[in-house]
Amino acid sequence: SLNATNAEGCSDVSVKTIQVGSTTSTQEQDELVYRLGIFPNPTQDIVNIEFNLDRSRTIRLSIVNAIGQVLQTENLGERSSGLEQISVQQLPAGAYWLMFDVDGIRVAKPLRVIK
């Protein structure tokens, strides 16, 4: 709460409630970092996405540019392990983020595209 009083002695109280949603343990995020791989990096045309998860999970991938624009999204569905290939031919040379959303847990890996 905030209590404000002006020079004339008038006061007002403001109360704001902030609700925090559930959080993801950093341990689970850290584990996912090691279970998700991308290669080659840097790449020109195709990037391979490799994952080896402890159980079947819903996986969604996004390629995001430096200003946060989502350029490409791939829904892989329920998977526990596998290898996917994504074309990046249409992207100009530059630095990007490959964002993994695994059952709502987000992990980002850097991706470089060269021409």
> Class of the 23-113 domain?
mainly beta
Mean of all residue pLDDT scores within the chain: 85
How many other CB atoms sit within 10 Å of the CB of residue 51?
21
pTM over 0.85, yes/no = no
- DSSP state, residue 43: B
Q: Which residues of 17-47 are buried (b: 16+ CB within 10 A; e: fewer)?
A: eeeeeeeeeeeeeeebeebbebeeeebeeeb
Give the rounded percent of residues in the chain with a pLDDT score beyond 90: 59
pLDDT band at 6 (very low <50, low <70, confident <90, very high): confident
Question: Which residue spans within 27-93 are E strands per DSSP?
Answer: 36-39, 46-64, 70-87
How confident is the model over 22-41, as a mean pLDDT?
76
